[in-house]
Every structure is written in C-alpha cells, then in structure tokens.
Amino acid sequence: MPRPSPNSISHASLEQAAQWYVQLHDQQTGEQDRERWQAWLAQSGEHQQAWGYVERVGQRFATLQDDQQHAAGQVLRNTARSPISRRQTVKSLFILASGSLLGWGAWRQTSLPDTLGRWTADLATGTGETRESLLSDGSRIWLNALSALNVRFDGTQRLLLLRCGEVLIDTAKDSRRPFLVQTEQGQMRALGTRFSVRQEEQRTLLNVYEGAVEVRTLHGQVQIVEAGQQLAFTQHHTPAATPAAAGREAWRRGVLLADNLPLGQLIEELSRYRPGHLACDPAIAGLPVMGSFPLKDTDQALRLLEAALPIRVQKTMSWWVSVGPRA
C-alpha cells in the first residue's frame, strides 16, 4: 500500500505529530507522556499517518546528519595526519556538506514516482537546485527545482518528456523537426516560441512568453495559446486561456515574484527550495502576497513574509517549519 502524501493529512494532525516527536525525544519525557502519546495515536488513523510521516522525515534527516558528521570527522582526522592546507580542509568539508544536502534533496518528502523519475531522467534537479542546459539543436532550457525530463531528439522530431516539476524553454529554429513537450495530460508543440511547462497533480500548467504553443490533450482536444497567455489543462479538458502570471519565469534568476499570489501557493513554491517540511496553515493560505522573495535564501523569504503579513513562522525543529496565523 502506498504511503499517504502529506497533502492528504490535515495541517493540525501534522503539527500535533511534530510536537509529539519533539516531546518524545526529550530526555525528560516520562512514562505518563508516552501513555498520552499512545492515546493520541490511537484516536484516529490520520494521527497514525501523521506520526509515520514525521517519523520518516526525522529519521532520514538524522541519518544524513550522522553521515555528514562521520565524513567530516574522517576529513579532520586525515588532515591531522597529512600536511594539507586549512583552505583545502574547508573545501573538503564544503563538498561533504553539499553532498549531504543533495542526498536530502533527492529524497525530501516527494512521492516515490517523482523521486525515481529524477534518479533515472536524462536531466534532473534536486531541492533548491536549478539547471540550465543547451540542447543539441541549439535550444536552451532551464529546469526548476525538483524537476526531471528526458530528451528524445531524432530525424523527425525534437521531444522533451517532462516527468515532474517545471521547465522553461527557448526554442531554436528547425524547419524540419517540430519541438514537442509531453506531459501526463498531453502534448505541446512550439510555434517558434519561449514558454514554460509545469507538471502539477492532475494537470499541466503552460505559460507562453513569446510566439505561440499548440496544445493537444491526451484525449484529442486542441487549442492554440498565444504569447502573454497561460493555460492549465487536464487529459480531458482545455479551458479558456488566461493572462500569463507576471514574473512566472523569475525563478530562473533565483527570485519568486508574487502579484496577489495566495500565501499557500507561495509557501508551496518555497518548499521546493528548502530541505525538510515547510507548510502553511489552511486558515491563512488565501492571504494575498505582493513582493519579491529570494528562492536561494528561504529563511530570508520567510522573514520578509512574517514582517509584511499577520503570520508567524514556527520552527518546531530545524527541518520542520510551519507558517500559521499570528497570535
């Protein structure tokens, strides 16, 4: 049976589970506390799912920390026995830390298909990582964080298979071969253009910045999306196109631009750039947000949000952060 997604568990249950996790790992915890935890756990299946999720995140985080500390200790021991410079030591420790973060990013709390997709894809990114690539035809693409795609170019077509996440594409001219992007919901054909495609749950989000894109859903509906428009389509349905989101492609520059963006959506986007669990209380998820936020420094982004909105950022643990209403 597949493990439940954190999105299927209520925010309240997840927060309660995180609090219990902290309390049970306190050396002062007694038998009465454990009995109260067991009683809470037995109250509902959702409590058990929430506890399982928090425990998995916590155990994985602890494992990565232990691996990093062990590797760092080995570097320091080797340094004591060899005449390498302090600068070389710091460089080695930085590489070890980066490797641990990349390992954590590859795991995170995403679904198993997404994780496997990134491991086996031609091009992929982890948590907080973006990637620019020049394709063999001269087209340039940028992968957003937690994204993966396969490249299938031959004599008749140029095809990108987006397995998860988001890609920004600047196509090169080729009169003989169409440029196509395939998602779970259908196929897009570039008509000399610059556009982005995002694979979301149960739908594809297309934003066109230059030129136009022809959309053909899995079940045969066809629609042309012009520059300055966006379209969120499913396997069966293509609604009317709407104006493209302002600054939608700013993530390529490490910036998240919000123009009346709901807080919940902004936090979800920041979570792609932060290891561990970052979530927003549904009670404030609809708050409109305006501004520019750094994706490479999510702590700073959260401080900016806390200063501008009636919210509170709570760090239950270093890897468990929640955004809720200010008391």
Over residues 239-286, the pLDDT tens digits come to 999 999 878 899 999 999 999 999 999 999 999 999 889 999 999 999
What is residue 184's predicted lDDT score, i.e. its pLDDT? 97
The DSSP symbol for 2 reads P
* Candidate from 32-46, 112-126, 275-289, 311-325 with smallest mean pLDDT: 112-126
What is residue 9's predicted lDDT score, i.e. its pLDDT? 85
What is residue 250's predicted lDDT score, i.e. its pLDDT? 94
Tokens of 128: 């907080």
Q: Which residue has the higher pLDDT, 245 or 94?
A: 245
- Domains in the chain, please, with CATH? 6-107 (no CATH), 130-243 (2.60.120.1440), 254-325 (3.55.50.30)
What is residue 50's predicted lDDT score, i.e. its pLDDT? 83
What is residue 22's predicted lDDT score, i.e. its pLDDT? 78
What mean pLDDT, rounded, does the chain reach?
A: 83
Tell me the mean pLDDT in the region 57-66.
Answer: 61
What is residue 97's predicted lDDT score, i.e. its pLDDT? 39
Of the chain, the percentage scoring pLDDT greater than 70 comes to 79
Report the distance separating Cα 91 and Cα 177, nearest Å: 46
Residue type for 60, please? Answer: R
Range with top average pLDDT, 89-98, 178-187, 308-317: 178-187
* Candidate from 60-74, 103-117, 253-267, 302-316 with smallest mean pLDDT: 103-117
Tokens of 35: 């009995």
Tell me the mean pLDDT in the region 41-55.
Answer: 85
What is residue 48's predicted lDDT score, i.e. its pLDDT? 87
Q: Over the range 90-111, which residues count as b (16 or more CB within 10 Å of their CB) and which as e?
A: eebbeebeeebbbbbbbbbbbe
Q: Compute the Cα dihedral for 25, 26, 29, 33 and give only its sign.
A: negative
Report the distance separating Cα 170 and Cα 193, nearest Å: 6
What is residue 310's predicted lDDT score, i.e. its pLDDT? 96
Over residues 184-236, the pLDDT tens digits come to 999 999 998 999 999 998 999 999 999 999 999 999 999 999 999 999 999 99
Q: Over the range 127-157, which residues count as b (16 or more CB within 10 Å of their CB) and which as e?
A: bbbbeeeebeeebebbbbbbbbbbbebeeee
Q: Is the pLDDT of residue 126 over 80?
A: yes
What is residue 113's predicted lDDT score, i.e. its pLDDT? 47
Task: Quote the pTM value.
Answer: 0.73
